[in-house]
Amino acid sequence: MTLRFIDLFCGIGGFRVAAESFSLKCVFSSDIDVDACRTYEANFGDYPSGDITKTNAIDIPDHDILFAGFPCQPFSIIGQMNGMSDTRGTLFFDIVRILKEKRPRWFVLENVKQLVGHDHGHTFTRILEILHGLEYKHDWQIFNALNFGLPQKRERVFIVGSNVASLFSLFEWPQDNVIMKPLSEILEDNVPKNYYASPYMQQKRLRSHQSKYFPSIWHENKAGHISSYPFSCALRANASYNYLLVNGIRRLTPREQLRLQGFPEWFKILGNDAQIRKQTGNSLPVPIAQAIVRKIVIAEEGFKIHETKDKAKTKSRAAVSLEPISV
């Protein structure tokens, strides 16, 4: 049986790339960002449904897995940290009503690491309590894209759950020990001049910082402090124009940004640079999602084996009980 999934708050389809790499079938997707939806359609052939808050849960197709990278701004260090009091924070409850109505076997939720500690942990505790009340066994982990082969420091919390206890018992978290791909395999060789910072900006950066690494990506924080590493700091949707500079002199190209998130080379690029920066900054590290999906598929395969053995035992016992008693 092919596992079916829905892709909520789908953006440009990070979860979908991961799921379809294991031949899972998407039956529904949703997002309100028009530019992201156009990119999604160009790559997957269908245009996501609109506002999930206006979608009746009963109208969503039956599915086995619910994927949702629900909006992170209410919990992010670059947001206002309003959490559940922010309207976008309540979008979690749209996930809840769909779980109540459709009862998929699995869910995989993704958000920023800051969600775990938001409001001294009360917000995250409340989320887990609600999921427990829906009778889903669940667990969570914080993963860093650096440990899944990507040269990007991007920490995200993942929550995985199932409403079949014996199935969830077979789920194991993936190991986060993949060797980081070097920047040299991410960066493009021939970059158009329009990606280069102005001579003034380049000189300003070079005067204020000397990097120990080459190639490197230079990062400027809110206070104006410059640092550089042989990897990128987290891509951000609303970052300043020169937030990240390769070797202190140029911005990342759209393809480089997609590579930093683990998107495959076949992935089509639509829109201008600002739109791509927003779309990649809002997406998730594909290799982490792939590693989690792989563990779900393994759990499903193990569950089928156990079911088959149990049925065989039951059939065998029934056959024995029907045998005539010799006298």
Contacts for 284 with CB less than 8 Å, ≥ 6 apart: 14, 15, 69, 110, 156, 261
Phi, psi for residue 12 in degrees, rounded to 5: -95, 5
Q: How far apart are CA 232 and CA 242, in angstroms?
A: 13
DSSP strand E in the chain: where? Answer: 4-8, 25-29, 65-68, 106-112, 137-144, 152-153, 155-162, 217-220, 226-229, 232-233, 244-246
Annotated catalytic residues are 72
Distance of CA 6 to the CA centre of its chain: 13
Rounded Cα gap, residues 68 and 231, in angstroms: 27
SS3 293: helix
Query: What is the number of helices (H) and of strands (E) in the chain?
Result: 10, 11
Spell out a b/e string for 97-107, using b for 16 or more CB atoms within 10 Å of the CB, else e: ebbeebebbbb
Cα–Cα distance measured from residue 280 to residue 36, given in angstroms and rounded to the nearest whole number = 10
Q: What gap in Å lies between CA 66 and CA 127, rounded to an integer? A: 16
